Copies of this chain bind each other. A is one copy, B any other.
Amino acid sequence: MISKNQIKYVRQLEQKKFRYREGLFVAEGTKVVGDLLKRYQPHAIFATAAWLSANPTTKAVEVSDDELRRLSFQQHPQQVLALFPLPSSVTPSAPSVALSIALDGIQDPGNLGTIIRIADWFGITTIICSEDTVDAWNPKVVQATMGSIARVNIIYTNLPSFLDSLPTDYPVYGTLLDGENIYTQPLTKEGLIVMGNEGNGISEAVRQRVNRRLLIPDFHDGETADSLNVAIATAITCSEFRRR
């Protein structure tokens, strides 16, 4: 049994301001909540009898299907909704021998969620986001990660300043129209892969700090200017770094 105030509280967590004030984010469904529970202590769990009987040792408030629907941000709520503390924000440091991703102004929650999932697949554990990148703890992003958000560290920071703090020769890769064919360029094992905004690509301030310019060539003959979705471009880029 839950109160109207509890429902209102959870639903307000859709707003970034409210999430940061309360220091909490929402995750839903057996897969996403299950993955987060492996790494984080929950603040609260609201679950149906079915979930509780499958997870007997986890403390949760039992809710009816109807109550879950009223709490949920999903069209088809799945057994459980949990509140987790926002991971404490850390100052990023130059990853020594790791490959990381930096996002410069990604706006679409689905794209960010998919990029977090791609990072997880390719064993990339850190994503550094510019301050104008959509918030990763937005419920839409959390769900789109399919649980990968539990395994990837996401850090928001002033991206140009962060890039300035790196050693001068630290490899900062970006895909740019005047870049070199990614399939034939040398790629290092460590470095930062910068992906830009959906409409405008990498911002001028960040572009100046990219020291290895890459291009994903198209194989289309004809005049039409095509483009790849940023999540698709991220997947192709990560695949190319990892296969070598």
Residue positions of A touching B, CB distance < 8 A: 35, 114, 117-118, 120-123, 146-148, 151, 183, 216, 218-222, 224, 226-229, 231-232, 235-236, 239-240, 242-243
A-B contact pairs, 20 of them (CB 8 A): A35-B224, A114-B229, A117-B228, A117-B232, A120-B220, A120-B226, A121-B219, A121-B220, A121-B226, A123-B218, A123-B221, A147-B224, A183-B243, A219-B242, A231-B232, A232-B235, A235-B235, A235-B236, A236-B236, A240-B243
Q: How far is B123's CA from A146's CA once the two chains are assembled, in angstroms?
A: 31
Residues of B within 8 A of A242 (CB): 219
Are A232 and B118 neighbours in the complex by a CB distance under 8 Å? yes
Are A224 and B151 neighbours in the complex by a CB distance under 8 Å? yes
Residue on B nearest A237 in the bound complex, by CB: B239
Minimum CB–CB distance for A100 against chain B, Å: 14
Residues of B within 8 A of A228 (CB): 117-118, 121, 235
Q: How far is B191's CA from A64's CA once the two chains are assembled, in angstroms?
A: 51
Residues of B within 8 A of A123 (CB): 218-221
Are B229 and A117 neighbours in the complex by a CB distance under 8 Å? yes
Contact check: which of B114, B220, B231 meets A122 at CB < 8 Å? B220
Q: How far is B223's CA from A147's CA once the two chains are assembled, in angstroms?
A: 13
Q: How far is B218's CA from A123's CA once the two chains are assembled, in angstroms?
A: 7
Q: How far is B76's CA from A97's CA once the two chains are assembled, in angstroms?
A: 45
- Give 7 nearest A-B pairs by CB, closest first: A123-B219, A183-B243, A236-B239, A232-B235, A123-B220, A122-B219, A219-B242
Q: How far is B228's CA from A120's CA once the two chains are assembled, in angstroms?
A: 10
